[in-house]
Structure 1
Amino acid sequence: MSELTLGITTIGDLLENEKITRKIPESDNGKSTKKTAGNIPENTEITPVSLIIPDYQRPYKWKVKNAIRLLDDIEEARRSNKEVYRVGTLILHKEKDKNEYNIVDGQQRVITFSLLLKCLLEKAEPKDETKDETKDETKDETKDETKDEPIKFLDQPLKDNDDNKRNVYQNYQAFTRRISLLKEGAKTDLREYIEKNCELVVIITDDISEAFQFFDSQNTRGKKLYPHDLLKAYHLREMRNCTEDEIKQSVEKWESIDQGELAGLFDDLYRLKEWIKGDKPDKFLSEKNLDIFKGVTAQDNYPYASFYKSAYAYIKTANSTYTPFVTGSGRMNLFQINAPVIAGQPFFEYVKHYYDLLTDIRNNNKYVGYFVNGNDIVETLNNRYNVGDGDKYIRLIFDAAILLYVDRFCHNIPTREEIDNLDIFIEYVFIWAYSLRLQQDSVRWDSTLNYILEKSDKGKINSFNIYKMIVTSDSPKSLFKMLSAHLKDIEKSLVKEKYRNDDPDLKKPNSLYEWFMKLFYIKIESNGEFSRQQNFNR
């Protein structure tokens, strides 16, 4: 059974004395939340408490405006004579048989308070030996004890990250400047108020999965969730039989991705999965569509579920041996976009895999000289036709087709033939995607969907579902043959005027039609492959 403990601590006790001031007895919680037997005596301390920033934590993101706002709030509370000023909640995961407590939630605030206290301790006024020590002897002794106390929490190294370096330095400098403006005696008063009156509610659990669930609940209260936040919580619950290290590694993969980019990734994968089925997706993933990413669970024992789980387990095992290197085949892909997701740990691997793959495609990074060979089409599209919403919709369906093709037909270490075939496919998919752009002044989301699903009310040329065509092809050669049969010429009279620039320099503005004509009129041979001849005469 996991152990859940609630506590309250002052900032001074936590950061200077490495202890949590008191536990909250069960009777104070309103319900029994402690999962071990017995009541907890009032004001029982937890000590020592060594706070750790785990590897899976994000960088320190608080900027000067956030740090100064916290200081302003504290000073306002002190001026208002608030006896207790609650400054938030700290969620900790306790390492078993250790006094180390990993910060799951509250890292930004704890680092900021540590910097502020360090600054105040360094700037604390020396004790006035001429003072009448009989006035408040206890108070003076407390000052002496804490004045030069180091903040041990700050001794641990932060990740070598630009955000960490910049924000820690800038916030500390901002605190130093602000504190230097305080009147005589005010620095000590401020320090003592932070140490003794500012409090954190602390939640401690020895179950890391439970800690992350508390984190999700705490951070989404009162604000709308990203759909992928719900997926994270769902798949963490499916990891109940995994080790702590496996859970940590999964969360690290997740947290390494910018949350806005993560939302975009799920939007892309959701749309692609719907297009493959021939369905019309919403523009963005929402809570009502989450089942598509919940996948096959450990409890599912249907034949199809057993097949996919067995395939994942086999490939995972094979990739961890010397087999890929002995056979020369390289590591096998664990995932396919049109296959069900495996719930739990594989889901987090799935997300990281497709994030890296799609990022490489969109940045034209790994694929230049490796897959795409500096393809002129990709480079030109990166520099032009990427401004308005219409251009972005066309680029979206272009990238999605490349992602699906790479996912289906390209190994991690491609052969020469795979490299050449992908280059050919890019030419085909350019003709398909940008046919819509040539035929419409304004490309909207609905018209993009209608084009893909062959529902265009005006019968757009080259309107067909390329995604379904890709997943039903058993080889690039058979795919190219189908594409050759489906793609048609566009008469110049049907091309919107702004794309009719006849300048032979295809990288100049508005030369999209010339690109199309150049590629389309490369001779398509009976086997469905471009001939690669350089004679582009019509």
Structure 2
Amino acid sequence: MSIQQTITHRHAATEDREQFEAYISTVGNILRQDLRIPAYQRPYTWSVKNVRQLVSDIQHFRTAGHYRLGTFILNEADPADSVDHGAQDGKRVLNIVDGQQRYLTFGLIIMALSTRSEELDQALSEPLLARVQNISIPRRRDGKSEANLRTNYEHLFQVVKTWSTQELSDFTEFFLKECSVVVMEVKDLDSAFQLFDSQNTRGRALYPTDLLKAHHLREFSQTDPSREAILETVRRWDALEPEEIEHLFAAVLFPVKRWTANEPVPETGFTAEHVDLFKGIRQGNTQYRWAHMALMAKATVDQYRATNATLRQYGVIEEFEFPFQILQPVIDGEMFFRMVDHYIAETRKAGINGTLAQDSGSPATQTAPELQNILEKLEGLPAGTGNRYIRELFDCLLLAYVDRFGWHEVGEAADKLAQRAYLLRVHLQRVNKKSINNHALFGHSRAGLGHENLFAKIAQAQSPDEILTIQDPTVPAEKIGALNTPFQRLFSSVPKEPTV
């Protein structure tokens, strides 16, 4: 069924057709509707970066033949409100509960395209301005919406001005006819807000990882896999606790990337500003050399898995998975979810985030036996915010090592990495995020480690020996003696400076 056919094929999304209806609409058709942005909506906040990304996505997916641009939640406006807004007699007016940022940006794109309407075929040029005549926004005292709209329109105008006539025509036709949105019409406003909440927050604050999930599911769907493959991917993701996924990115993968690159972890931590770190290579994108190696590795792994599917199923041959590396670029779509599965398993095996893993309802991966000794020592340490920060630093060091060398000599490496991380506690009574950043990037000056970034050293090391043979700094005996017993056990093998 084509998109045009799908538009006319509406279906009830719940048993109560009168309350909730869902359907697919092209961008051209959604702009024909009489939509209003209620006064309770927040200002228009999209930046030039958001607009540039949207145009880039539309251009990229033109070769796929269609592109889904998200979801609109609409609620039928009060009849009196419709009259106030000058609606035609008998014409329905719908309020936008969710989707105003995209809706207004669609209007800006149409306005920019219309500046060159004389170069388009009549079938495309005539409807352009007609589609934005009814778009209006609530006036606000702060002028934020108006300022952002003007800035984004100017950017779009400059972009459209550079296109050839053919590119202009191709983009306009694809945007109006083959770009689509999912529309959910809800009669009751309270139900509309409940739907908005469940769509965007599932009853909790939206994590940056939720944005990543949405991005990579969209990319996955563009490769036209089977419906079952997408559903299985969603099932695996949803089987994990959101807190465990968020911890993986915010407390492990993101800090490892930052510290290895000699950059501090921001005070605000992992936020929506940083999700681009975990986007990367689109399927079929061979424009840049840096993407070639990862795409070639994926092609090799996928071919092996497909060729030997039966042998793998019966355990005749070993499983063969993509060689994920934290510092390598992410392949968008399905590979992102395979990457998450890989690092969830690795962190559980390393004893990282163990409590959340046990509570997730998923089968827990058994902790590596080589790590039992050091993990028992660490779990015996006193609780407290500072010690939690140091434990997360150790977790990052351990995963960086495992990511580089696998599980070779992991027990000995974990002992050394734990002593390096917890030296901060020997020398500082109060540990905060700033001192953790200093210690991770070049060894805290109070810890006597000199200017050495252990993350960068791991990333450049050719063998585990380069980490295992790092010289231990000596520690004043009186400082060790002042520690409580669990810390003394942790530093039992560290050389002590004699007491003067």
**TM-score class, shorter:** 0.5 to 0.7
Superposed displacement of residue 374, structure 1: 2.9
1:244 aligned partner: 227
**CA–CA distance in 1 between the matches of 2:378 and 2:301?**
36
**CA–CA distance in 2 between the matches of 1:423 and 1:253?**
30
2:282 aligned partner: 297
1:316 aligned partner: 302
The one-letter amino acid paired with 2:217 is L
Asked if 1 retains the 8 angstrom alpha-carbon contact of 2:261 and 2:456, the reply is yes
Q: For 1:361-418, what per-residue CA distance to the aligned partner results, in whole angstroms no more than 9, with x for missing partners?
A: 22397454x442632x211212323x1011101110111111122222226xxxxxx3
**CA–CA distance in 1 between the matches of 2:448 and 2:10?**
63
2:258 aligned partner: 274
Q: Identity across aligned pairs (percent)? A: 25
The one-letter amino acid paired with 1:381 is L
Asked if 2 retains the 8 angstrom alpha-carbon contact of 1:427 and 1:519, the reply is no
Asked if 2 retains the 8 angstrom alpha-carbon contact of 1:296 and 1:342, the reply is yes
Asked if 1 retains the 8 angstrom alpha-carbon contact of 2:212 and 2:278, the reply is yes
**CA–CA distance in 1 between the matches of 2:393 and 2:216?**
29
**CA–CA distance in 2 between the matches of 1:308 and 1:278?**
24
Summarize the Cα distance change of 1:401–1:325 in structure 2 as closer, same or farther, 3 Å threshold.
farther
**CA–CA distance in 2 between the matches of 1:271 and 1:458?**
22
2:323 aligned partner: 334
2:247 aligned partner: 264
Corresponding residue to 1:396 among 392, 395, 401: 392
Asked if 1 retains the 8 angstrom alpha-carbon contact of 2:386 and 2:431, the reply is yes
**CA–CA distance in 1 between the matches of 2:422 and 2:298?**
37
Are residue 230 (structure 1) and residue 211 (structure 2) matched?
yes
Superposed displacement of residue 431, structure 1: 1.6
Asked if 1 retains the 8 angstrom alpha-carbon contact of 2:208 and 2:270, the reply is yes
Corresponding residue to 1:359 among 309, 334, 348: 348
Q: For 1:305-342, what per-residue CA distance to the aligned partner results, in whole angstroms no more than 9, with x for missing partners?
A: 12111112212333553599999876345311111111
Superposed displacement of residue 513, structure 1: 3.2
Higher helix fraction (1 or 2): 2
Summarize the Cα distance change of 1:345–1:199 in structure 2 as closer, same or farther, 3 Å threshold.
same
Summarize the Cα distance change of 1:245–1:292 in structure 2 as closer, same or farther, 3 Å threshold.
same
Deviates more, 1:300-309 or 1:451-460: 451-460
Superposed displacement of residue 25, structure 1: 11
Summarize the Cα distance change of 1:7–1:373 in structure 2 as closer, same or farther, 3 Å threshold.
closer
The one-letter amino acid paired with 2:259 is W
1:475 aligned partner: 463
2:473 aligned partner: 488
Which structure: larger Rg? 1
| Structure 1 SS opposite 2:299 | helix
Count of residues paired in the alignment? 318
Give runs of aligned pairs for residues 142-157 of structure 1, distance below 5 A.
Answer: none
Structure 1 alignment gaps of length 5 or more: 36-88, 90-196, 203-213, 412-417, 500-508, 523-538
Are residue 288 (structure 1) and residue 273 (structure 2) matched?
yes
**CA–CA distance in 2 between the matches of 1:221 and 1:373?**
37
Corresponding residue to 1:447 among 422, 435, 441: 435
Give runs of aligned pairs for residues 113-192 of structure 1, distance below 5 A.
Answer: none
Structure 2 alignment gaps of length 5 or more: 33-96, 98-186, 356-363
Asked if 1 retains the 8 angstrom alpha-carbon contact of 2:427 and 2:446, the reply is no
1:374 aligned partner: 372
- TM-score, L = length of structure 1: 0.51
Summarize the Cα distance change of 1:222–1:514 in structure 2 as closer, same or farther, 3 Å threshold.
closer
- TM-score, L = length of structure 2: 0.55
Give runs of aligned pairs for residues 491-506 of structure 1, distance below 5 A.
Answer: 491-493=476-478, 495=479, 498-499=482-483
Are residue 254 (structure 1) and residue 237 (structure 2) matched?
yes
Asked if 2 retains the 8 angstrom alpha-carbon contact of 1:7 and 1:201, the reply is no
Give runs of aligned pairs for residues 207-226 of structure 1, distance below 5 A.
Answer: 218-220=199-201, 225-226=206-207
Are residue 343 (structure 1) and residue 332 (structure 2) matched?
yes
Superposed displacement of residue 303, structure 1: 1.3
Asked if 2 retains the 8 angstrom alpha-carbon contact of 1:275 and 1:281, the reply is yes
Asked if 2 retains the 8 angstrom alpha-carbon contact of 1:461 and 1:490, the reply is no
